Amino acid sequence: MRLRNVTGSAGRRQWRTAAAALVAAGVLLSAGCSGDDKSATPTWQGGSAGPGGEGQPSPQPTQSTVSVTSPAANATGVKAIAEIKYETEDPGNTSVEVKDADGNEVKGTLDKDEKVFRPAKALGWGKTYTVTVNGTPSGDKGGSTTSSFTVMKKPSKLVRVSSFLGDGQVVGVGMPMIVRFGRSIPQKYRADVERRMVVTATPAQEGTWHWTSPTEVHYRPKTYWKPYTKIFYKVQLAGVPMGDGWYGRSDLTVDLKTGRSFVMSVDNKTKHMTVTQDGKKVKSIPVSLGKKSTPSWSGTMLIMEKKRHTVFDTMDELPEGEGYRTEIDYAQRITWSGSFVHSAKWSEGVQGRVNVSHGCVNVSEANAKWLFDRTMMGDPVIVKNTEVKLKNGNGWTDWNMSWDDYKKGSAL
């Protein structure tokens, strides 16, 4: 800008006015272009000067009215496996906290869609718990609520729950997970029991539980376990109703794994056993199966028990004159009715050609030892083309039925 040289008081006032305008313009230009002034805070007409500044107020969360719907306030005799149910207008921003009388927080999972808190394990018998449900904080009445309840006293009727397998075991690829109960579980309670038994396999494999009797339930995958699978199962049945005033006594967990795949296939037509390991044939073994009067079972069985030396005694089981008492080496049980894979020196001359056994799979002493040294509980033994079919339940016959039939044994 260029200024005219004027004189007089009027002229001096014009000059001062113009100079002030020039300074103001310079300030505006500096504020609009300079990024060096860290302390400068822009102020918008009619707005806030920033967080905490005056102007338009920040939006506040919406009020959410909450309530505990179950268990009822001050309820007593509540089941130890009770779920905490609540109502809220804003599920996504609602929290639930459960504590015992000592102030210890109860661990669990919160399902905000179903509006339910599920304790990770059964609550303590006879203990009192306080539930706190917090809705969207607003400072207004109704945004938070507390409720207390007391769990039932420890019942006198408790059902023992046990696992056939234990931590650290290594089993064959056909091994089912087996859970047993101290008393029969009525049909209408089995679904709830089954929901609380969770199997996790690594790598993942489809599987299901199957009730073999009112006191025993098995779990197997759709096909044999993959070799070297890590298996973990959690059975959470403490406090679970099991009918007629009975409740589950405890929870349990089992962590184990499978070994290599080792499958023994016996064909009565060829009178030979074919042994495969991890899908590759490793040995062919001559066998002698059950003679016509005592035929061997056809079906898929599993190694259930191994005895380096034992005695077969049928003196009290068979008619007089037919019973026998014989010492046996390298015996491996495959049915409850008494079928074994075992050493039989007396039939070595006809093994691979003629059936002379009482229903067992006879092999030579050398081959029996070879098998005994390599097998583990849960390895499959498949026998085919004999005169009689294996009956389900005569041993661990989990693989003696189709997948569709096996699933029908689930209460779910």
* Cα–Cα–Cα angle for 47, 48, 53, rounded to 5 degrees: 160
Asked whether the beta carbons of 149 and 72 are under 8 A apart, the reply is: yes
CB atoms within 10 A of CB 109: 9
- Cβ neighbours for 220, distance < 8 A, ≥ 6 positions apart: 174, 176, 177, 207, 208, 210, 398, 399, 406
Backbone phi and psi for residue 389, each to the nearest 5 degrees, phi listed first: -100, 145
Which whole-number Å values give the CA distances from 248 to 21, 41, 372, in the listed order? 89, 67, 39
Dihedrals phi, psi of 320, to nearest 5 degrees: -55, 135
Selected catalytic residue, list 210, 218, 358, 360 = 360
Catalytic residue among 210, 218, 342, 358: 342
In b/e form, how buried is each residue of 363-382, taking b as 16+ CB within 10 angstroms?
A: bbeebbebbbeebbbbbbbb
CA dist., res. 329 & res. 369, Å (int):
8
Catalytic annotation present for 33? no
Q: Is 342 a catalytic residue?
A: yes
Per the DSSP assignment, residues forming a β-bridge with 67 are 87
| Residue 392: closest CA among 382, 404, 406 | 406
Under 8 Å between Cβ of 131 and 68: yes
Residue 19 C-alpha from the chain's centroid: 83
The answer to whether the Cα torsion of 388, 391, 394, 399 is positive or negative is positive
Q: Which residues are catalytic?
A: 342, 360
